[in-house]
Amino acid sequence: MLFHYHFWTPHLEETENFYKENGFRVSQRVGRNQGKFQTFNPPLTWGDLRNKNVLFRIIEMRKGAVNITFGYGNNIKFDHIGFFVPDADYQTIIGQAKEMKLNVNSNERRTFISTPYGFRIELQKNMDTIDSINSRTKIIKLTIMTKLNDLENFLFRLFGKPVNEIKLINGEKATIKEAMIRNLQLTKCTDPNGVSIRSQ
């Protein structure tokens, strides 16, 4: 199940506010301040944070079965998408990634797989990264732009089945052009990083 995407962005406060206005909640903020990583979770607000010179590594927003994260970058950059996979499939997919000569980085929480398309794929099996696996609020489809035109075949090889939640369009820069998310009451259509949000 597709559940997640991550961007690096200079527009942290604006991105957080965009998703809050669309019903998401802040589940965590982690950043470096005075030389060490700390949490700056709610009830802290941006009014408390603006003058602290925090370099945010991750801000996590959740709603239902959707998890969206972003961290500070000088420029907007799409980093990865994330899939929940059953325990029975987890090692099979990792093995297939290695067969495909892809770089695989695993720890006890998750696995990242490199791709030639300008973004990574996260494999996740820990349900505590979302609020509810059974929620009606979930990612139905992501439209991803890349220079290469065989992403669907790549995903089929990696997962061993079609990944119908991903639609490809060609372009110069790897990014998410559109996210279709079920069960949102939209107040804005495009997030500060250029992702057009549609509700179904």
**What is the model's pTM?**
0.94
Give the sheet arrangement for strand 25-33, strand by strand.
Answer: 36-39, 25-33, 55-63, 66-72, 2-9, 77-84, 120-124, 110-113, 104-106
CB distance 80 to 110 below 8 Å: no
pLDDT of residue 187: 76
Quick: pLDDT tens for 71-114: 999 999 999 999 999 888 999 999 999 999 999 999 888 999 99
Domain ranges of the chain: 2-199
pLDDT of residue 200: 78
Quick: pLDDT tens for 106-134: 988 899 999 999 999 999 998 899 999 88
3-state secondary structure of 58: strand
Q: Is the peptide bond before 162 cis (omega within 30 degrees of 0)?
A: no
Annotation: CATH topology of 2-199? 2,3-Dihydroxybiphenyl 1,2-Dioxygenase; domain 1 (3.10.180)
